[in-house]
Structure 1
Amino acid sequence: MSWFPLLSAAALLFSLAAAAAPHRQRGAKSPEPVAAPSYASREDAQALARTIAAAQGLDPDWVQRALAQARFQASVTRLVMPPPAGIAKNWAAYRARMVDAARAAEGLRFWQAHERWLNQAESRWGVPPEMVVAIVGVETYYGRIRGGFRVLDALATLSLDFPSGRSDRSGFYRDELAAFLSWCHAEQRDPTSVKGSYAGAIGLPQFMPSSIRRYAIDGDGDGHIDLEYNPADVISSVARYFAEFGWERGLPTHYGVQVPADTSARATLLAPDIQPSFSAQRMSELGAVLDEAGRAHAGPLALVELQNGDAAPSYVAGTRNFWVVTRYNWSSYYAMAVIDLAREIKRLRPPPPPSSASTPLQ
């Protein structure tokens, strides 16, 4: 998945406002009316149905009937376009929208309501509860913003009528359409009943269909994977997703850093983008000043730049775990928003009660 593994509500907000890019629909308009053009009589849709059926081992008639119910959505072709050129990114503005008191308070309630599943996920995959909770908060505001498009319509539109004016991603969406139909068949779901984002992302964590097939998990053992309404499945799936991309238990996501004054050295550090590529010693040799914990870090680091419009950029030294968060949505701004929201939610959590163990006799 070479664009976003998850096309999220947060990603859409970032790309459209860019005042501030899978997961992650505030800017999305309402879906097209039901009377939108049907794909039932289009030969290319019928050919795609045959291809999907053969590739996924599905009944060709079932796939044909499903795709015949898809309808072209003009708003989807507009929303998938990139933001206008020349709009400066602004981390401070983006953070203010994503990391606020109301969202953090809702995150705390989500944590308290589903603590059992969060603890089990941390025990199994090593992902802290606050990180899982923050993902759900940034993606869909704990289910408030799931997207109102029929996923079948969105994926069919982007598979068969991908708009010109940007790099052609129709192949990606055909694969997602195939994964979606395969999942619906396995779960005995009506493909027309599933709602999601303009790009086909589904449920509280906004998983694309291929991510559901690869990473989603039946968290409570009821025999189904439900990312729309089952918190056990949502929590387990997000934690597993992080683990599959290499989340390291107990590793911080980033450290504080002062960038080198020398522009050439700074460019060298920024060249790999968010891919951890430099040891703490090498960063120091290039003039970066890490905080105490960063200087003691044994693994590779990345210098992450967060632009602030006309103001000076912000910088952090990202670890492997920072890079893992960006696998959910390939944006350092998104990753930092998730991390900061996680920190705020954890800060609100009451401290554990003191140990009730009695003092041993002397």
Structure 2
Amino acid sequence: MTDSQRSLRRPLLGAAIAAAGLGLCGLSPLSMAAGKRRVALREEEIEPGRYRDNAQTQAFIDDMATRHGFAREQLADWFGQTVYSATVARLILPPATPGRKSWRAYRSRFIEPIRINAGVRFWQQNRATLRRAEAEFGAPASVIVGIIGVETIYGRDMGTFRVMDSLSTLAFDYPATPNRDARSAMFRNQLSDYLLWCRDTGTDVFSVLGSYAGAVGIPQFMPTSLREYAIDYDGDGHVDLRNSPTDAIGSVGRFLQLHGWEAGRPVVWRIAGDDGSRGVAAAAADGEPWPTRTLNQLLKAGLRVDEPIDLASEGETGVLIADLPTPDQPTEYRVGLRNFYVLTRYNRSFFYALAVYELGEAVKAAMS
């Protein structure tokens, strides 16, 4: 690894570690879009008093009072009203019979006419805000549009679960899985950040609705990201990611900027279709989401890039290989640059990152 590669990787490790701590085995520290299942039925609410005298809840209350100065009586009152949701506990589980990963099937869910047409309308309605965010944060309007489209179809599918109920269910009653302890701890951290965010913003803890995993609003921010990245971009004095597309656009742009988005730089390069290039790509596809090689290393190994780029000036560019398998089809590959890595901070999945980019490009093409 060259000195330039080391300097590229070091500042990104903090984000990678944070994402690993928050990520749900590939699901987003911000959102659940890549693994989200549509729910046709309404959430059933059972055992409304479950957390009133719960030992885990009492320990959590003690910790929040000691570390963050919450009044124990207030927390006890909130948890007395909090509802355990069997629906949330069921939906968080992985499928009983996991299917084989398919890039083509995944892509078809997001790069399709309904989402593209909705993206065109969203872009037209928010053109000035997207232009402002692009200038201020450096991330293209197309990428912001792509993220919001993949997450919620531009606010159409934001979730109807009370976040307080969802996070409490997952913090204290996560279903039995091999990694239950780690996931419970992660959701307790999210619950803590949610209560802190509500206190900081004067938000009623029972007023916020979101996904079954506690993701909120048009961009589906988890509470930790609400606290760190959400901004009042429309200047009305409060952050509202559910009802304000302007706040959502600004918050996504800020997230991308703070995770190292490089303005004016590519996201991916296509790889030539010859056997030699495909063989190099297959050998270099190690699943790592951050750039660990230089383009020159791959070129010297025999990979060819199917893009009109200046190979001499881009030789020391840090890159990764994203593998995109489809059952019974040749695996597709892309050369991912740092901006591709940044998209995996929103959701660690390579499928997700490329779907966001391609949806944004499809909407941009439809606009012209």
| Same structural fold, with TM-score higher than 0.5 when normalized by the shorter chain | yes
Query: Match of 1:283, as an amino acid?
Result: L
- Provide the residue aligned with 1:175 in structure 2: 189
Structure 2 residue runs without a partner (length 5+): 1-18
Query: What displacement does 1:7 show?
Result: 5.3
TM-aligned CA deviation for residue 225 of structure 1: 1.0
* Inter-partner Cα distance in structure 1 for 2:157 and 2:335: 32
Pairing 1:124–2:147 present: no
2:293 aligned residue: 278
Q: Which residue of 2 aligns with 1:19?
A: none
1:227 lines up with 2:241 in the alignment: yes
Q: Secondary structure at the match of 2:325?
A: strand
Provide the aligned length of Structure 1 versus Structure 2. Answer: 339
Q: CA, structure 1 residues 141+263, in 2 after alignment: closer, same or farther (shift >3 Å)?
A: closer
CA contact (8 A) 1:225 1:233 kept: yes
Q: Give the structure 2 partner of residue 320 of structure 1.
A: 338
Q: Encode CA deviations 1:291-334: one digit per residue, 9 max, x unaligned.
A: 24456234111111001122111111000000100100110001
Query: Which has more helix, going by share of residues?
Result: 2
Q: CA, structure 1 residues 273+33, in 2 after alignment: closer, same or farther (shift >3 Å)?
A: same
Aligned mate of 1:209, from 206, 223, 233: 223
Map 1:72-111 to 2 at 5 A: 72-84=84-96, 87-111=99-123
> Is contact 1:280-1:294 (8 Å) kept?
no
- Of residues 130, 146, 155, the one that matches 1:143 is 155
1:218 is aligned, of 218, 232, 252, to 232
Residue deviations 1:224-269 (CA, integer Å, cap 9, x gap): 1111111221111000001111000011100011376499855541
Q: Which is further off, 133-142 or 62-71? A: 62-71
**Which whole-Å CA distance do the structure 1 matches of 2:308 and 2:73 have between them?**
60
CA contact (8 A) 1:8 1:139 kept: yes
C-alpha contact 2:28 2:347 (8 A) present in aligned 1: yes
- Residue 312 of structure 1 aligns to a residue in which SS? coil
The alpha-carbon distance between structure 1 residues 314 and 29, as it changes in their structure 2 partners (threshold 3 A), is farther
Letter of the 1:209 partner, please give it. P
Q: Does the C-alpha gap of structure 1 residues 212 and 82 become closer, same or farther in structure 2, counting only changes over 3 Å?
A: same
| Whole-angstrom CA distance in 2 between matches of 1:325 and 1:182 | 27
My pick for the range that moved more, 48-57 or 339-348, is: 48-57
1:331 counterpart = 2:349: yes
Who is 1:291 aligned against? 306
Structure 1: unaligned runs, 5 residues or longer: 14-24, 351-362
CA distance 1:201–1:86, change in 2 (3 Å):
closer
Letter in 2 for 1:306: L
User: Which piece of structure 1 moves more, 333-342 or 25-34?
Assistant: 25-34
- Identity among equivalent positions (%) equals 37
Shift of 1:75: 1.8
Q: Is the 8 A contact 1:219 1:233 kept in 2?
A: yes
Query: What does residue 16 of structure 1 align with?
Result: none
1-structure distance, mates of 2:39, 2:364 = 29
Structure 2 counterpart of 1:40: 52
**Alpha carbons 1:90, 1:307 under 8 Å: kept:** yes
Instruction: Give the equivalent residue in structure 1 for 2:35.
Output: 12
- Name the counterpart of 2:3: none
RMSD: 2.1
Q: Give 1:61's aligned residue.
A: 73
**Offset at residue 197 of structure 1 (A):** 0.8
Q: Which residue of structure 2 aligns with residue 113 of structure 1?
A: 125
Kept after mapping to 1: 8 A contact 2:171/2:184: yes
Query: What is the letter of the counterpart of residue 120 of structure 1?
Result: R
Distance 1:182 1:68 in 2: 18
Q: Which moved more, 1:228-237 or 1:266-275?
A: 266-275
**Distance in 2 between residues matched to 1:30 and 1:180, nearest whole Å:** 23
Q: 1:323 to 1:29 in 2, by over 3 A?
A: farther
Structure 1 residues 288 and 36: alpha-carbon distance in aligned structure 2, compared to 1, 3 A threshold: farther
User: 1:280, 1:295 within 8 Å by CA — same for their partners in 2?
Assistant: no
Matched residues in 1 for 2:121 and 2:98: separation?
A: 39
**Per-residue deviation, 1:50:** 2.2
| Alpha-carbon distance, 1:28 to partner | 7.2
**Larger deviation, residues 341-350 vs 286-295:** 286-295
Over 3 Å counting, the alpha-carbon distance change for 1:272 and 1:91 in structure 2 is closer
Aligned to 1:159: 171
One-letter identity of the residue aligned with 2:81: Q
Q: CA shift at 1:29, angstroms? A: 5.1
AA partner of residue 12 (structure 1): G
